[in-house]
Structure 1
Amino acid sequence: MSRRVVGVTLDNLDHLPRTCRRCVFWELAPHIREQAEEFGETEFEKEAWVSNVLLDWGSCGRILYIDNVPAGYALYAPPAVVPRAAAFPSGPISADAVLLTALRVVGDFEHGGLGRVLVQNVAKDLTRRGVRAIEAFGDLHEDAGGCVIPAGFLQQVGFKTVQQHPKWPRLRLELRTAISWKEDVEAALERLLGTVSVRTAEPALG
């Protein structure tokens, strides 16, 4: 069984489940979202949002494939480009954080630890880009139609509550703690081996 995680692009946007591909809960302000849903333009609006974020900021999501079958996804972006974020009473998102808006493992792939894999890949991507933390609004009652990540899942993968709320708490994952010990060791070994190879390649003096 092969597993790979790639960044969301306009080329693979249609690999998202149809419900997510058509959902603009986060991407549009509530009143504009209602208009888009009324006129059947949500897929266009979703594509336009992803395109703009890609151009202005870079990668805004990850898709996880198992044997080339889309098995899960995560979407994230700076809170300034996520209009719905302003409507949550437990906000605002901290200035040093990126907002994780959606994360889901689909169908038969649930309950296999792939949600944690997605979080780790998001953390790797954002750490490389100099981001200090990921924040998310959690759903304590899991009644938001799947548009808000369950708070229980976020806590299971390392997020901590930074703003309490009876329904929509805000949770945070510090990225320096999101990378596993194994990955830290592997990175250290790569740096060490790289240093050794450079040194041994230097010409001898005399």
Structure 2
Amino acid sequence: MAVSVVSLELEDFETLPLHARRCVFWEVDRSGSAPAIDTVISSPSSSGETAGPESEFDKEAWLSGLLLEWGVCCQVAIEPSTERVVGAAFYSPPGRVPRAAHFPTAPVGADAVLLTTVRMEPGFESDAVTVIDAVVADLVRRGVRAVEAFGFSGDDDSLAMDLVTLLLGSGMASDVCRRCILPTDLLSDFGFEVVAEDPYLPRLRLELDEGLGWKSQVERALKKLVEPATPVEVVEAAFSR
């Protein structure tokens, strides 16, 4: 059953999946430029790997401030039969996400909004494009000219992870959440184009115009008619890197 997508309101913050409402990889910078840095903790995931910096208090405070000052900044996917939130996409003016400055392909274009994270719950990975569609539709309505995102192109080999940790976490693995960096392939498949090359962390851009959301949906529907369906396992692999 297809998910429905709605804009997140602050009163619905508690409905977000645990990682989505706790991870502050994008919102908190350990260099001290972000507030309440002492409250940030790092927790291991169920698989034993580092989950990244977490602080539910700071995530809610960041969301509240951005909703008040800028407007909608998160789209959530809801499974209709249970009304459970099964995915979320966060986006923001780049100046409100301190981590963006650490990427080697920064800065984000002055006319663009930054798509930071699209995180889907297990079993709903293929619905990521539906959530991105909702982000694009919202930004087109608001007259935004472009949306940009940082991708991750490397595999989870030790060299790639060491470089990402050094660049984005000042050498601290606990300060990096790989799960909250979008796979480059996912962005490219949606129509984003690389505007700043990097072997591991390129910056991609999608120009926005009226009808873009409708056009992308039609193109994907036509593609499904002429090509074999993409196995769910391929989509899941992109998110598990």
> What TM-score do you get using the length of structure 1 for normalisation?
0.80
Report the counterpart of residue 199 of structure 2 in structure 1: 166
Structure with larger Rg: 1
* Residues 111, 144 of structure 2: 8 Å contact kept: yes
Report the counterpart of residue 215 of structure 2 in structure 1: 181
Match of 1:70 among 62, 82, 85: 85
Aligned mates of 2:216, 2:186 — CA distance in 1: 23
Q: What secondary structure sits across from 1:49 in the alignment?
A: helix
State the AA in 2 paired with 1:52.
Answer: G
* Residues 151, 202 of structure 2: 8 Å contact kept: yes
Match of 1:56 among 51, 69, 77: 69
Report the counterpart of residue 178 of structure 2 in structure 1: 145
**Alpha-carbon deviation of 1:60?**
0.4
Report the counterpart of residue 35 of structure 1 in structure 2: 38
Aligned mates of 1:183, 1:86 — CA distance in 2: 32
**Alpha-carbon deviation of 1:174?**
1.0
**Alpha-carbon deviation of 1:153?**
0.7
Going from structure 1 to structure 2, the CA distance change for 1:151 and 1:182 (only over 3 Å counts) comes to closer
Aligned mates of 1:102, 1:118 — CA distance in 2: 11
State the AA in 2 paired with 1:82.
Answer: V
**Alpha-carbon deviation of 1:115?**
1.1
- Count of matched residue pairs: 182
* CA deviation map 1:158-198 (0-9, x unaligned): 111000011110001111273233989xxxxxxxxxxxxxx
Aligned 1:1-206 pairs, distance under 5 A:
1=1, 3-32=3-32, 35-38=38-41, 42-67=55-80, 68-111=83-126, 114-141=127-154, 143=156, 144-176=177-209, 178-181=212-215
State the AA in 2 paired with 1:179.
Answer: G
Going from structure 1 to structure 2, the CA distance change for 1:183 and 1:20 (only over 3 Å counts) comes to closer
Aligned mates of 1:141, 1:81 — CA distance in 2: 26
Aligned mates of 1:141, 1:100 — CA distance in 2: 19
Aligned mates of 1:155, 1:16 — CA distance in 2: 27
How much identity, in percent, do the aligned residues show? 42
* Residues 8, 76 of structure 2: 8 Å contact kept: yes
Q: What secondary structure sits across from 2:26 in the alignment?
A: coil
State the AA in 2 paired with 1:50.
Answer: L
Bigger relative CO (Cα 8 Å, ≥ 6 apart): 2
Superposed CA RMSD: 2.3
Aligned mates of 1:65, 1:97 — CA distance in 2: 27
Structure 2: segments with no counterpart, 5+ residues: 43-52, 157-176, 219-241
Aligned mates of 2:140, 2:11 — CA distance in 1: 25
Structure 1: segments with no counterpart, 5+ residues: 185-206
Aligned mates of 2:65, 2:186 — CA distance in 1: 29
State the AA in 2 paired with 1:167.
Answer: Y
Aligned mates of 2:115, 2:38 — CA distance in 1: 25
> What TM-score do you get using the length of structure 2 for normalisation?
0.69
Deviates more, 1:98-107 or 1:5-14: 5-14
